[in-house]
Amino acid sequence: MAPAGDSASYLAAVAAGADAVYVGLKHFSARMQATNFSISELARLASLGRDHGTRTYVTMNTLVKPGDVEAAGRLVDRLQRSVRPFALIVQDLAMIELARQAGYEGEIHLSTLANLSHPAGLEIAARLGVNRVVVPRELNLDEVKLMTEACPKGLDLEIFVHGALCHCVSGRCYWSSYMGGKSGLRGRCVQPCRRLYRQGNQPPRRLFSCTDLSLDVLTKPLLSMPRITAWKIEGRKKGPHYVYYTVRAYQMLRDNPNDAQAKKAATDLLDQALGRPSGHAVFLPQRVFQPVQPDAETSSGRFIGEIKRAGAKLYFEPREPLEPGDLVRVGYEDQPGHRTVPIRRRVPKRGRLDIPGKGPALPTGTKVFLVDRREPELTRMIRDLEGELELFPLPEAGESTFAVRWPQAAPTRQVRTENVTLFRTPPTGRIGGKGAFWLERAVLGKLPSAMVSRAQWWLPPVIWPDEDKKYRALLKEAAKKGAREFVINSPWQAAYFTDRKDAVLVAGPFCNLSNRLGLDVMKTLGCSSAIVSPELSEEDARELAQNPPLPLGLVIKGLWPFGIARFLSEAVRQEEPVKSPMNEVAFVRRWGQNNWIYPGWELDLNDEFKEIVRMGYKTMVTILEPWPKAVPRPKRTSTFNWKIKLL
């Protein structure tokens, strides 16, 4: 399954014989930095793909804001009529309902951004009509097996085999959004994890920048798991060279699993694909590879030289020949003055290529990377397919008349406003309002039954496959002590309550709820109220509160994480300040199997409290986390995206 961010990459995937290509549109795509496609352009490509046996999957895998729902529905309607994609890949629960309302006839695939990370949740996905789930990239081989064994009839799994790794768990990263409204859940991530950070007296290093994932020869065990129906290659921002070489490599590994020569040829092709340095990450549980190497090269493309200076002119001498059409990137993507330079003439190995003088000055020693190639043979294949493409007529332009069928509003007047305080450890004094606790044995065992029964119990934002039994047991223990109200922090955690009719379920803020249709799906899963995503702006929060199907709550104060990660470099010391180049402070704290990366300041919407109540929000949540001794108390707080536009 190949990525394509533009027409040339799509055609390269077809030329390589990809079984499927996944693409994004100009809107609602989690890779908005890619060129992406118009409906008319994609309709012709999908027709050509069908002729060559290549399926087209369309990603509409972003968080859907309250004002986006109608537009998203019309887009699905137009896709169904013009493109007829084999599958839609979605994150937001609203997209499942919109596809149903629009009469979409293809498959629904659940993006890794939806964070279905534990076996029990697969039953919920199947119940909602999902055909395939993309599992998290943090799973090891044993955990993938657990997921396949739990997979219900009619549901398949898809696994990433190659491409970039995010530091934080997909669907659990708010870093880019917290720093200025450019949400990773909306496809706008500016990749703050790739930047330089420093801790203590150490020099700045790439403390959170991951090498790429490459399962290469480790894909063989996947062939014995029939529920794994797709091997996914990441890279919708990559060029046709990368797409062609990675597809050909994994075809060899799939079709010749016992052929040593084929394995060698495949790994040689991957070496030529111009990705970042790569590793197997955590896939082999007995031999984990740490994907964060602070002192290693983690930039995309292949390193081919460094900038030198001759008088006022900047140049470099490439380590390998460059051909017309190749693309090189000068500098890192977070470096002022970095640029992409197209190669106009052949440059021999150790020849000289002058760098255009426009833009900020670049220091000598700046690294240069080859990011795309235009080999004559691949170029010819793409041109031949472009000729075929001309034979397919452009679809007739037509506007959609699709109208959303909205859910019935909940009668919220009878719901009183309450304050909830969420604790990590049992408090020493009285609790103002309702107390809430993270569901962990260390807390549950210390509280008297009277307090357990009155409290609200929060499940963690990520539950891994080997933790399924643990949380089933904790829920049983909590129920025995009288607990009734539980906050689920992904929709898939509703699976734990299918046989607990007396439980009161609340959809938590990590469910990333942001529209009425998504709220209504949570209602069908048994939730009686919802705490919506705190990354929404004031405008979005106000619109969402108009006729919601569930009573709503909001996180108004406390430490909201930049993100949650399963792995962490040994170079990062927990509970100590980590500083960005702009001197912004963060720190890392481990809870269970996950590392929570927190900003060094709190979210605080208390000044907006009265207005939030006037909007109709009924539950106000304060998150209390112990402040690390080594991190200085800040003078500042944050309103997250409240006063700015969530892009």
What percent of the chain is predicted at pLDDT more than 90? 84
430 pLDDT more than 90: no
Q: Retrieve residue 160's tokens.
A: 């990433």
pLDDT at 642: 97
pLDDT at 312: 82
The model's pLDDT over 111-167, given as tens digits with 9 standing for 90+, comes to 999 999 999 999 999 999 999 999 999 999 999 999 999 999 999 999 999 999 999
pLDDT at 228: 98
- Rounded to 5°, angle at Cα 425 from 421 and 430: 55
361 pLDDT more than 80: no
Mean pLDDT comparison of 13-17, 375-379, 399-403, highest-scoring range: 13-17
pLDDT at 607: 97
Domain ranges of the chain: 2-165+211-274+377-389, 302-372, 412-559+600-638
Q: Say how far apart CA 524 and CA 313 lie, in whole Å.
A: 65
| Lowest mean per-residue pLDDT among 85-94, 95-104, 420-429, 538-547 | 420-429
* Domain covering 302-372 assigned CATH 2.40.30 in the classification: yes
Which of residues 386 and 358 earns the better pLDDT score? 386
Q: Say how far apart CA 89 and CA 30 lie, in whole Å.
A: 10
pLDDT band at 436 (very low <50, low <70, confident <90, very high): very high
517 pLDDT more than 70: yes
pLDDT at 432: 80
Q: Say how far apart CA 573 and CA 563 lie, in whole Å.
A: 17
pLDDT at 34: 64
- The CATH label, of 3.20.20.60, 3.30.70.100, 3.40.50.261, 2.60.40.10, for the domain at 412-559+600-638 is 3.20.20.60
Tokens 């937001």 sit on residue: 92
Burial class (CB in 10 A: 0-12, 13-18, 19+), 396: exposed
pLDDT at 31: 64
**Which stretches of 491-537 are DSSP H helices?**
516-524
Instruction: Using the CB atoms, write b or e for 335-359: b if 16+ within 10 Å.
Output: beebeebebeeebeeeeebebeeee
The dihedral built from the CA positions of residue 563, 212, 30 and 407, taken in this order, carries a sign that is: negative
Q: Say how far apart CA 43 and CA 49 lie, in whole Å.
A: 10
pLDDT band at 647 (very low <50, low <70, confident <90, very high): confident
Write down the CATH number for the domain with range 2-165+211-274+377-389: 3.20.20.60
pLDDT at 412: 63
Closest CA to 342 of 191, 269, 247, 239: 239
pLDDT at 448: 92
pLDDT at 359: 64
Domains 2-165+211-274+377-389 and 302-372 share a fold: no
The arithmetic mean of pLDDT across residues 544-562, rounded, is 97
Which of residues 264 and 33 earns the better pLDDT score? 264
30 pLDDT more than 80: no
pLDDT at 311: 84
The model's pLDDT over 243-282, given as tens digits with 9 standing for 90+, comes to 999 999 999 999 999 999 999 999 999 988 887 788 999 9
- Tell me what the pLDDT averaged over the chain comes to: 94
